[in-house]
């Protein structure tokens, strides 16, 4: 997938020589989707910090709290809404340039 979270996790795994990124924190602009959240669990990151919530597809807190499910073998600490207003502006600018 081309989502930034998946790409960042893949590159970090390559640089560290291990797909398990235990002890690592992932900082992202937008609340992750289901696919990205699942990839984070698989990578076993310790913490996720995101800026803007995503009310339509956010699977960390907005639509569902996928990362808090008890059946996962790994739990991720979540901090959301960090610099949410600037993050929204940045995303708006990014997508305006893409179109």
The residues carrying an active-site annotation are: 5
Bridge partners, 50 (sequence order): 28
Is the model's pLDDT at 1 over the cut of 70? no
pLDDT at 48 over 90: yes
Model confidence pLDDT, tens digit, residues 4-43: 899 999 999 999 999 999 999 999 999 999 999 999 999 9
Read off the pLDDT of each residue in 55-61 and give the average, rounded to a whole number. 90
The number of CA neighbours under 13 Å toward the Cβ of 92 is 7
**DSSP secondary structure of 43-91:** HT-SEEEEEE--TTT-TTTTS--GGG-TTSS---EEE--TTHHHHHHHH
Residue with the two structure tokens 């959301």: 80
Mean pLDDT score of the chain, rounded to an integer?
90
Q: Give me the residue spans of the domains in the chain.
A: 4-98
pTM equals 0.86
- As a whole number of angstroms, the distance between CA 88 and CA 81 comes to 10
Give me the architecture of the 4-98 domain, per CATH.
Answer: 3-Layer(aba) Sandwich (3.40)
């Amino acid at each position: 997938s081309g989502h930034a979270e998946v790409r960042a996790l893949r590159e970090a795994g390559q640089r560290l020589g291990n797909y398990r990124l235990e002890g690592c924190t992932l900082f992202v602009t937008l609340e992750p989707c289901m696919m990205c959240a699942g990839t984070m669990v698989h990578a076993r990151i310790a913490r996720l910090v995101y800026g803007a919530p995503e009310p339509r597809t956010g699977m960390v807190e907005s639509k569902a709290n996928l990362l808090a499910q008890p059946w996962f073998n790994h739990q991720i600490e979540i901090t959301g809404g960090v610099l949410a207003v600037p993050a929204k502006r940045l995303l708006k600018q990014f997508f305006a340039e893409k179109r």
